[in-house]
Amino acid sequence: MSNLKFFFEPKTVAIIGASERLKFGYGTTKYLLESPFKTYPVSLTKNQIMGHKAYKSIKEIPEEIELAIILVKNDNVLQAVKECVEKGVKGIIIETAGFAETSIPKYVSLQEQIASLAKSSGVRIIGPNCVGITNFKNKFTTTELDVNKLVKGNISIIAQSGVLGNIFIDWATSQKIGFSKAITLGNKIDVDEIDMIEYLEEDPDTSVITIYLEGVKRGNTFKFVLKNMKKPLIILKNGRSELGAKAIKSHTASLAGNDRIFEALFRQFKGIFRVNNFYEMFEIAQVFATQPLPKGKNIAIITGSGSLGILACDLIEKEGLGLAKLESKSMEELRAISPNWVSVKNPVDLGPSQFSTLNPALNILFHDKKVDGVLFIFSVPELPLKQWSLSVTPFLRRMKHLSRETEKPIIICVFGSRWVFEYLLEKAVKFSIPLLNRIDHAIKAFRFMHEFYLHKKE
Amino acid sequence: MSNLKFFFEPKTVAIIGASERLKFGYGTTKYLLESPFKTYPVSLTKNQIMGHKAYKSIKEIPEEIELAIILVKNDNVLQAVKECVEKGVKGIIIETAGFAETSIPKYVSLQEQIASLAKSSGVRIIGPNCVGITNFKNKFTTTELDVNKLVKGNISIIAQSGVLGNIFIDWATSQKIGFSKAITLGNKIDVDEIDMIEYLEEDPDTSVITIYLEGVKRGNTFKFVLKNMKKPLIILKNGRSELGAKAIKSHTASLAGNDRIFEALFRQFKGIFRVNNFYEMFEIAQVFATQPLPKGKNIAIITGSGSLGILACDLIEKEGLGLAKLESKSMEELRAISPNWVSVKNPVDLGPSQFSTLNPALNILFHDKKVDGVLFIFSVPELPLKQWSLSVTPFLRRMKHLSRETEKPIIICVFGSRWVFEYLLEKAVKFSIPLLNRIDHAIKAFRFMHEFYLHKKE
C-alpha cells in the first residue's frame, strides 16, 4: 500500500499553468497562492502571477516540490510531466482534459506516454481529466470550491469525474453534510479507486467511504479490497444501461463492464452498499457518520403528518424492515399524554399538537424494547412555525440524549419550504442529527446500517 | 356535476371557533379577518376577535353566509354544523380532527351524524380533519399559508390529508412551482376527490390536476371519471404495502383497498400517471404546465458533466425512451464549434467551457429532426459561477425561443448548492422553463408527456 499523504498534505506545491485569467484553474491558483500552503506558480508567459514570482519551468523553483498541479492545455501536458519527473516531485495532479476520453488517436497515445512515464519514474499521478483533491481538515484543495463554506466531517468521497464531485460537494455543503476528503480521479492513468480506498481505510478522519464509479481497471484487486473492507463503503455506479455504458466510453475512457458483474460483486460482500444517486449516497453516508448502528430492524415512526407516516410504512415494508410493535406499556403511556383523537399506534401521529407531546413521546419510544431506531417526520408548515416562534432545540437535545443513552439511531425527515429546512438544519447539525428530505433515503439508511451492524457482529 | 364555486370564491365567510390564541386556526383567522374577503368571526367566549365583532352563533350574523369554516373542537362540531344548516350556508369546511380516524365509537358516530346532516340538508361539506382550500388566483385560503409568497400557476392539487398539502405547497413555493387551487379533503364525509376532479376539469385556470389519494369511496364513479379525463391527472397513492394500508385506516378512516386494483385502474386509462412521491408529482406537473408535448420519444442531452449525461442515459433506457441519434449534419456543426476534446455525440458533453458553445449547440439540437425534446443538465459549481459573473439569462431566453419555435419541450436539471439552484431558478421561472433537481423526474416527465401526446392524438 502506497503512502499518498503528499496529495492531501503537501509541504510544497507548484501550479503549472497558473493563470490570472478567469478560466478553468483560476480559482485554484488564487486560493492556493493566498493560502498558507507554500505554492509556486509556473507560467510560460508571465513573470508574476497575482503578486508571486512565476517560474518558466518547475525545474527553476529553488526548493523541493512535493506536489505539482498541471492545468496547461492537453498538448503541453506531457512536457510538463517530464519536467516534474526531472524535478523529483512525489505526486502530480493533471486536471487538464482531452486525452483518451476523446477517442482521438493522438490524445489516446499522449495519455499512454504519460502513463508510461508514471510507471518508469515512480511518480504518482492523479488524472488527467479531473479536479484533484480536497482535504477538509487542513483546507488544502486543488478544486474550485469556496473553502470557507466547507463543512468538516467523517465522510470521504472518491469520484471519477471532475465537475461532478465538485457540484455534489456544493450540494452537500448546503445540507451541512460534513466531509473529510474528496478525490476526483478522472482517467486514472495511475492512482485509482483501489489506491484511494486503501488510503481512506487507514485515514483516522474517515469513517464512511463513498465512491462514484464508472469502471474498474484492476478487477481482481478491486474484489480483494471489497472483501476486506473495514469501513462502510457506499457505491454509486452508473452505466447500468447499454446507452449509459456507451456514453461512459467517451467520458473517461473507462469500460463500464457488464453491470450484472458489478451488481453481483457488490452483493457478494458485506459492508458494500449500492445506491442510485448522489443524494441517496450522501444522505445515507451522513447517517452512518453520525448515528449508532441499529441492533434490530424495527423502526418507530413519530410524526405530525399521518400521510407521511403511511408513506414511511410502505417503504419500511419495501426495504424488508419492520414497523416496531410497541410494548403495551408504551401504548398506555402514549394514550395518557395524547389528546383523544391521536393515534397511539406506530406510526405515532401526534397531529398538529405534535410539540406539546413530542418530548414525552420520544422518551417512550426510545425506551421501548421493541424499537431499534426512531424516524421523526417533521411536518410543520412555514407560517405556523414562524408564528409560534417555536424553539426546536429542546426537542433536538432530547433526541440526541435519548439516542446516546439507548444507543439507537435517530433520523429526522423534513418536508416543506427551504426556510423550514434551513431553520431546522442549523440546529440539528449541532446535535449531529441527520436531516433528510426524503423518507426513502432514511429507510434505506436504517436497512444499510442494520446490515452493517450484523456484519460487524459476525 | 355540482357547482362548488362558493368554496373557492365565497362572497361571505364565517369562522366558527375563530381564535386570537396562537393555536391551530389562528393563522387562518388572522389572514381572513385582515383580507378583503368579507369574514365574520364566531366565538362562544369572546365578543371581539382581532378588532372584529364576534358572534356567539353563525345564526346571529346579520347577512347571508356562503361559506363556514369550522375550527371548534370535535365534541362541538355537530352543533356548529346544525347552526350552519339553519343559517342556510352553501358550504362548510370542517378543519377539526378527531372523528372516524380515531376508531373511537363515539367519534365515528359523530362523523356519521354530520354526514347525514349534509345529505338531508344539501349543504356541501369538506372535511373533517383537513385544512380546506386555497385559491391562488384570488388569494382566498382557509389554510395557514403565507399568501404573499404563493406562486400562481396552472397546477391544482387535491390532497386527502391536511398538513401534507400544506407543507408540500410550502416546498413547491420554494421551487417557484405555480398553483391554481389546492384542496384538502380529510375524511370526505361529503365532498370527495371525484367532485373536485370534475370541478377542476372545468376550471379554466387549471391545466394539470394532481392528487394525493389514500382511498376512494365511490369506486365506479371514480373509474368513470378517470376514463373521461381531458386534462393530465397525476396521482400519488400511498398504502401500497400491508403496513401502509393498515396505517391509512387510522389516519383518515379510509379503506386503502387492494393496491393492485388501483394500479390496474391507473394503467387502464390514458392520461392518468402514477408517481411515487410529492417531489416527483409536482416537478412532473410543472413540466406539463409549462412545456409543449414531445411528438416523439427521442431526447437530446446537453451538459457540462459527462457523468450526469451517463446517468441520464441509464434513465432514458429505463423509461423506454430513446437517446436521439443526431443527424450527421448536426454532428458536423457541433464538431465545428467545439474544442478538440469535446464529445459531439448525444449526450453532448460541452465540458467546463459549456457556456461559450451552449447557444449554437442548443440551436443545432432543437433544429435536429431526430430530437423530440431537450434536457439541459447545468453543472457549474458555485465558486466559478460567482467568479465568472456569468449571466445565464441569454441562454434561458434562447432555450425558450427555440422551444417555442420548434414546439419541443426543454427541461433543465441543476445540481449543486442551493445558491446555484436559486440563482438559476429566479431567471428560469421568467421563461417558464422547469428547473428540476433530479434527472429521474425529468426523464419520467418526458415519458408521461409523450404518452399524453399520443393519447390526445388518438
* Closest C-alpha to A407, from A294, A299, A301: A294
Residue with cell 356519521: B112
Query: CA-CA distance, A17 to A420, in Å (whole number)?
Result: 44
Q: What percent of chain B has pLDDT over 70?
A: 96
Q: Is-same-fold flag (A5-126; A133-288)?
A: yes
The β-bridge partners of B209 are B156, B233
The β-bridge partners of A133 are A183
Query: CA-CA distance, B172 to B156, in Å (whole number)?
Result: 12
Query: CA-CA distance, A201 to A89, in Å (whole number)?
Result: 25
In contact, A304 and A379? CB cutoff 8 Å = yes
> Domain B133-288 falls in which CATH fold?
Rossmann fold (3.40.50)
Instruction: Determine contact: B144 vs chain A, CB below 8 A.
Output: yes
ipTM for the predicted complex comes to 0.87
Query: CA-CA distance, A149 to A360, in Å (whole number)?
Result: 37
Helix axes A439-457, A306-318, angle to 10 degrees: 40
Chain A: closest CA distance from residue B63 (Å): 31
* Closest C-alpha to A8, from A135, A121, A125: A135
Q: State the number of CA atoms in the 13 A half-sphere of B302 facing the CB.
A: 26
Q: Which pLDDT does position A399 carry in this prediction?
A: 97
Query: CA-CA distance, B226 to B197, in Å (whole number)?
Result: 9
Q: How far is CA B217 from CA A90, A410, B87, in A?
A: 72, 37, 29
Quote the DSSP letter at residue A294.
Answer: P
State the DSSP string of A414-448.
E-S-HHHHHHHHHHHGGGT--EES-HHHHHHHHHH
Instruction: Determine contact: A108 vs chain B, CB below 8 A.
Output: no
State the DSSP string of B9-62.
S-SEEEEET--SSSSTTHHHHHHHHHSSSEEEEE-SS-SEETTEEPBSSGGG-S
Q: Which pLDDT does position B257 carry in this prediction?
A: 65
Query: CA-CA distance, B448 to B272, in Å (whole number)?
Result: 9
Residue with cell 499518498: A4
Query: CA-CA distance, B254 to B161, in Å (whole number)?
Result: 11
Instruction: Determine contact: B324 vs chain A, CB below 8 A.
Output: no
Q: Which residues contact B328 (CB under 8 A, 6 or more apart)?
A: none
Dihedral, CA of residue B437, residue B440, residue B445 and residue B450, to nearest 10: 150
**With an 8 Å Cβ cutoff, are B244 and A27 in contact?**
no
Neighbours of B413 (CB within 10 A): 25
Q: Domain residues of chain B, as ranges?
A: 5-126, 133-288, 291-457
> Domain B291-457 falls in which CATH fold?
Rossmann fold (3.40.50)
> Domain A5-126 falls in which CATH fold?
Rossmann fold (3.40.50)
Query: CA-CA distance, A67 to A132, in Å (whole number)?
Result: 11
Q: Which residues contact B400 (CB under 8 A, 6 or more apart)?
A: B410, B431, B432, B433
pLDDT at B53 over 50: yes
Chain B residues in contact with A419 by the CB 8 A cut-off are 174
Query: Which of A211, A243, A380, A389 best probes binding to B when mutated, by most B CB atoms within 10 angstroms?
Result: A243
Quote the DSSP letter at residue B340.
Answer: T
Per-residue model confidence as pLDDT tens for chain A (458 residues): 458 999 999 999 999 999 888 677 888 999 999 999 999 999 999 999 999 999 999 999 999 999 999 999 999 999 999 999 999 999 999 999 889 888 889 999 999 999 999 999 999 999 999 989 999 999 999 988 888 888 999 999 999 877 777 788 889 999 999 999 999 999 999 999 999 999 999 999 999 999 998 888 888 999 999 999 999 999 998 877 788 777 776 666 665 567 788 888 888 899 999 999 889 999 999 999 999 999 999 999 999 888 889 889 999 999 999 999 999 999 999 989 887 667 678 999 887 666 788 999 999 999 999 999 999 999 888 888 887 777 899 999 999 999 999 999 999 999 889 999 999 999 999 999 999 999 999 999 999 999 999 999 88
Q: Of residues B26 and B60, which shows the higher confidence score? A: B60
**With an 8 Å Cβ cutoff, are B306 and A250 in contact?**
yes
Instruction: Determine contact: B151 vs chain A, CB below 8 A.
Output: no
Q: Which pLDDT does position A1 carry in this prediction?
A: 47
For B208-222, the pLDDT digits (tens) are 999 998 888 888 999
For A147-188, the pLDDT digits (tens) are 888 899 999 999 987 777 778 888 999 999 999 999 999 999
Element (H, E) at B300: strand B298-303
Instruction: Determine contact: B135 vs chain A, CB below 8 A.
Output: no
Instruction: Determine contact: A248 vs chain B, CB below 8 A.
Output: yes
Q: What angle do CA B429, B434, B439 make, to 5 degrees?
A: 145
Query: CA-CA distance, B68 to B89, in Å (whole number)?
Result: 7
Query: CA-CA distance, B177 to B362, in Å (whole number)?
Result: 25
Residue with cell 492545455: A73
Residue at B107: amino acid letter: Y
Chain A residues in contact with B438 by the CB 8 A cut-off are 277, 279
pLDDT at B35 over 50: yes
For B382-400, the pLDDT digits (tens) are 888 887 777 899 999 999 9
Edge to edge, the sheet with strand B233-237 lists: B140-141, B133-135, B179-184, B152-159, B208-213, B233-237, B272-275
Q: Of residues A283 and B306, which shows the higher confidence score? A: A283
* Closest C-alpha to A291, from A450, A434, A443: A434
Query: CA-CA distance, B248 to A80, in Å (whole number)?
Result: 66
Residue at B154: amino acid letter: N
Query: CA-CA distance, A421 to A413, in Å (whole number)?
Result: 10
**With an 8 Å Cβ cutoff, are A340 and B306 in contact?**
no
B31: cell is 389572514
Query: CA-CA distance, A58 to A41, in Å (whole number)?
Result: 9
Q: Looking at residues B35-57, what average pLDDT do you find?
A: 95
**With an 8 Å Cβ cutoff, are A244 and B145 in contact?**
no
Chain B: closest CA distance from residue A348 (Å): 10
B454: cell is 399520443
Chain B: closest CA distance from residue A63 (Å): 31
Q: Which pLDDT does position B250 carry in this prediction?
A: 64
Query: CA-CA distance, A56 to A45, in Å (whole number)?
Result: 8
In contact, B445 and B196? CB cutoff 8 Å = no
Query: CA-CA distance, B372 to B367, in Å (whole number)?
Result: 10
For B224-276, the pLDDT digits (tens) are 999 999 999 999 988 777 787 777 766 666 655 677 888 888 888 999 999 99
In contact, B437 and B322? CB cutoff 8 Å = no
pLDDT at B1 over 60: no
How many contacts, defined by CB atoms under 8 Å, are there between A and B?
260
**With an 8 Å Cβ cutoff, are A352 and B97 in contact?**
yes
Query: CA-CA distance, A52 to A33, in Å (whole number)?
Result: 8
pLDDT at B67 over 90: yes
Q: Which pLDDT does position B281 carry in this prediction?
A: 95
